[in-house]
């Protein structure tokens, strides 16, 4: 039976460290602040923003929420980001994605000051990550690495397979594993014989968003399986890309969905906010 990698418990431990750092910054006169901008009323985005607000409160980080109607224009949104870039009370800026149709998401992300880009999506921050000198680490891949560390799983010299090549997870995840001396293969929708590749993995990270993608016959016995995806089943419950009932008996360690990578993504955002405010984590 695989060890369940408990992201919820680990996130709670890291939150305590973040709260201590926030207190140290406040004692020096700096109140760490995170601005979250949401456009429209997407239920999933609203729920995620609510969680982020609660996380900030738990860690003594000031949360500034800007909820804009869907009909807000690009000009108005960019003007808000410009004000936040210049606001000394705001150390981190996050624009909740996806934006409604008609918005230029790339232009919006690029308008955020790199020094306040706590999602690490700005090309300057992506470049720093790629050369191994990051200002901030992208939240979900950083959360995965923190989980591997917490469970004593060293990528060095191991076959690491990342299924998914998004700018948010797949690509940066491959870079972080490579920087830790893993031998990394990135798979995607055009990969031939996906199962042959995934069966080589000592560490398998799945980040596609396709329910049931990874079945038991696609996993090497003893592999570490990290399921980043979060899909909604017809009954409303959440599940990842991995068929848990088939993969868990073969894996040495596995993340549950929910309760695995999700809480770690949110806590890494707080860690980046503390870093932006001048804290040491």
Just list the catalytic residues.
52, 96, 119
What does the DSSP assignment read for the chain? -PEE--HHHHHHHHHHHHHHHHHHHHHTT---EEEEEEES--HHHHHHHHHHHHHHHHTT-EEEEEEE-TT--HHHHHHHHHHHHH-TT--EEEE-SSPPTT--HHHHHHHS-GGGBTT--SHHHHHHHHTT--SS--HHHHHHHHHHHHTT---TTSEEEEE---TTTHHHHHHHHHHTT-EEEEE-TT-TTHHHHHTT-SEEEE-S--TT-B-GGGS-TT-EEEE---EE-TTS-EE-SB-HHHHTTT-SEE--SSSSHHHHHHHHHHHHHHHHTT---
């Amino acid at each position: 039976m695989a060890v369940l990698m408990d992201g919820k418990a680990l996130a709670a431990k890291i939150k305590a460290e973040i709260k201590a750092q926030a207190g140290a910054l406040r004692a020096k006169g700096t109140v760490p602040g995170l601005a979250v901008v949401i456009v429209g009323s997407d239920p999933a985005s609203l729920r995620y923003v609510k969680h982020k607000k609660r996380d900030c409160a738990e860690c003594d980080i000031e949360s500034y929420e800007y909820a804009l109607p869907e009909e807000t224009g690009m000009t108005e949104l960019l003007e808000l980001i410009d004000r936040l870039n210049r606001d000394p009370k705001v150390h981190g800026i996050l624009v909740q994605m996806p934006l409604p149709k008609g918005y230029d998401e790339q232009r919006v992300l690029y308008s955020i000051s790199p020094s306040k880009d706590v999602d690490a999506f700005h090309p300057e921050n992506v470049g720093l990550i790629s050369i191994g000198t990051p200002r901030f680490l992208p939240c979900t891949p950083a959360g995965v690495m923190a989980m591997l560390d917490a469970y004593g799983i060293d990528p060095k010299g191991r076959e690491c397979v990342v299924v998914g090549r998004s700018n948010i997870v797949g690509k940066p995840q491959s870079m972080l594993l490579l920087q830790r001396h893993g031998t990394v293969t990135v798979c995607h929708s055009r990969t031939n014989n996906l199962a042959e590749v995934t069966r080589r993995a000592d560490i398998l990270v799945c980040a596609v968003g396709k329910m049931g993608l990874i079945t038991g016959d696609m996993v090497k016995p003893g592999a570490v399986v990290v399921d980043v995806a979060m899909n909604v089943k017809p009954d409303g419950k959440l599940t990842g890309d991995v068929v848990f009932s088939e993969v868990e008996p073969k894996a040495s360690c596995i993340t549950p969905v929910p309760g695995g990578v999700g809480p770690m993504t949110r806590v890494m955002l707080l860690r980046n906010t503390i870093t932006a405010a001048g804290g040491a984590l």
